[in-house]
């Protein structure tokens, strides 16, 4: 249970940035997990190969994945904003292929890890992984920060307004392009943050994105797009299903149950778990 709770923190962190992009620009970055993969490689090279201090490495990693988000938006998404949603999904699918194989070509297919093992805490007779606790905390803090940004600042208000109606906002004198860029950069930076914390507990390899990519989308959809609270709850529901299923059977069965749960939930509540009934 506790392990599931902490896995939930990791998943919530993963889905945070995607939720922002998905909810605001309404584009499925199917390559989102690959951005995280690149961030993890960034951490690996900065920390393990070039021996940069870990905090500096994390900062560089967050900023550079944020820049990647900007580049992705400008090169791929911007020309397709008017196209059918499915074309945007497919184009980012192309980015997924590209990033995955670029990583294969550049870094090889070996599993790499940071070579840094964080201690395991013992709380009331239970063993709690420190890195998972860290991810959990970071997810919580990042979520609160994003929430404050969206509700307390002018830019945040503009972002939420665009999420509601993207045709009307240019008429109100909002530079939508700038808002899209800010959102993409922010989404990328959150992917970078997720990468920094994931690399503490998982090995990195070019196909690591495929292992948690799909589950990230399902969390965003299940928690209602752009709804961070919903995303958080969905992440924990998924994590519990995966870890409890994995406890009694195999880990794969945990995923099977999680996917099946998603499909059933889509039929029961197509708007997501936390949607308000209109």
Partner 1 sequence: MTRYLPWVAGAALVALPFVYRSPYPLHILIVILIWSFAYTSWSVMGRFGLVSLGHGGFMGVGAYVTALVWNYGHLSPWVGVPLAVAASAALAALVAYPCFRFRITGHYFALVTLALSGIVLQVITATRDYTGGSLGYTPERYQGGSSLWAFQFSDKTTWYLIALVVWAAGLFIWNRVDRSMLRYALEAISEDEDAAAATGVHVTAEKLKITVLSATMTALAGALYCQYQMFISPDTVSGISVSLQMVFAVVVGGIYVSLGPTIGAVITILLAEILRIGFGTRAVGWDNLVYGVLLILFIIFLPKGIVGSLMDLSRRWRWTSS
Q: Give yes or no for residue 94 binding partner 1 (CB under 8 A).
A: yes
Q: For partner 1, which stretch binds (CB under 8 A), given 165-173, 175-183, 232-240, 248-256?
A: 248-256
Candidate list 1, 53, 97, 116; residue touching partner 1; CB under 8 A: 97
Candidate list 54, 133, 149, 266; residue touching partner 1; CB under 8 A: 266
Q: Give yes or no for residue 202 binding partner 1 (CB under 8 A).
A: no
Q: Give yes or no for residue 87 binding partner 1 (CB under 8 A).
A: yes
Q: Give yes or no for residue 25 binding partner 1 (CB under 8 A).
A: no
Candidate list 70, 95, 162, 208; residue touching partner 1; CB under 8 A: 95
Nearer to partner 1, 2 or 266 (CB): 266
Candidate list 49, 50, 82, 84; residue touching partner 1; CB under 8 A: 84
Q: Give yes or no for residue 53 binding partner 1 (CB under 8 A).
A: no
The 3-state secondary structure of the chain, one letter per residue: CHHHHHHHHHHHHHHHHHHHHHHHCCCCCCCHHHHHHHHHHHHHHHHHHCCCCHHHHHHHHHHHHHHHHHHHHHHHHHHHCCCCHHHHHHHHHHHHHHHHHHHHHHHCCCCECCCCCCCEEEECCEEEEHHHHHHHHHHHHHHHHHHHHHHHCHHHHHHHHHHHCCCHHHHCCCCHHHHHHHHHHHHHHHHHHHHHHHCCCCCECCCHHHHHHHHHHHHHHHCCCCCHHHHHHHHHHHHHHHHHHHHHCCHHHHHHHHHHHHHHHHHHCCCCCCCCCC
Query: Rounded CA gap, 160 and 166, in Å?
Result: 10
Q: Give yes or no for residue 172 binding partner 1 (CB under 8 A).
A: no
Dig out the tokens for 20 from the structure: 């922002």
Q: For partner 1, which stretch binds (CB under 8 A), given 13-21, 45-53, 99-107, 197-205?
A: 99-107
Q: Give yes or no for residue 259 binding partner 1 (CB under 8 A).
A: yes
Q: For partner 1, which stretch binds (CB under 8 A), given 5-13, 93-101, 125-133, 155-163?
A: 93-101
Nearer to partner 1, 101 or 164 (CB): 101
The angle subtended at Cα 47 by Cα 198 and Cα 54, nearest 5°, is 75
Nearer to partner 1, 29 or 44 (CB): 29
Candidate list 13, 24, 25, 28; residue touching partner 1; CB under 8 A: 28
CB neighbourhood size of 249 (10 A): 12
Nearer to partner 1, 9 or 245 (CB): 245
Q: Which residues bind partner 1 (CB under 8 A)?
A: 28, 76, 79-80, 83-87, 89-91, 93-105, 109, 206, 210, 214, 217-218, 221, 249-250, 252-253, 255-256, 259-260, 262-263, 266-267, 270
């Amino acid at each position: 249970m506790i392990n599931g709770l902490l896995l939930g923190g990791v998943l919530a962190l993963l889905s945070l940035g995607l939720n922002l992009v998905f909810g605001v620009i309404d584009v499925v970055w199917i390559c989102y997990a690959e951005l995280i993969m690149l961030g993890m490689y960034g951490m690996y090279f900065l920390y393990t190969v070039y021996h940069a201090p870990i905090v500096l490495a994390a900062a560089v990693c967050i900023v550079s994945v944020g820049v990647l988000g900007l580049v992705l938006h400008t090169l791929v998404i911007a020309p397709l904003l008017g196209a059918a949603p499915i074309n945007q999904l497919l184009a980012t699918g192309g980015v997924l292929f590209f990033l995955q194989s670029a990583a294969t070509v550049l870094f090889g297919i070996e599993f790499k890890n940071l070579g840094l093992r964080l201690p395991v805490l013992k709380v009331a007779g239970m063993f709690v992984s420190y890195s998972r606790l860290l991810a959990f905390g970071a997810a919580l803090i990042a979520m609160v920060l994003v929430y404050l940004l969206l509700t307390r600042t002018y830019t945040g208000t503009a972002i939420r307004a665009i999420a509601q109606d993207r045709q009307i906002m240019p008429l109100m004198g909002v530079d939508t392009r700038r808002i899209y860029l800010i959102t993409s950069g922010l989404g990328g930076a959150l992917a970078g943050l997720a990468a920094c914390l994931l690399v503490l507990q998982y090995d990195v390899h070019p196909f690591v994105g495929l292992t948690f990519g799909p589950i990230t989308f399902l969390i965003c959809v299940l928690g209602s797009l752009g709804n961070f609270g919903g995303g958080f709850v969905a992440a924990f529901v998924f994590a519990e299903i995966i870890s409890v299923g994995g406890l009694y059977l195999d880990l794969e069965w945990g995923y099977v149950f999680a996917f099946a749960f998603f499909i059933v939930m889509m039929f029961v509540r197509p708007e997501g778990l936390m949607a308000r009934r209109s």
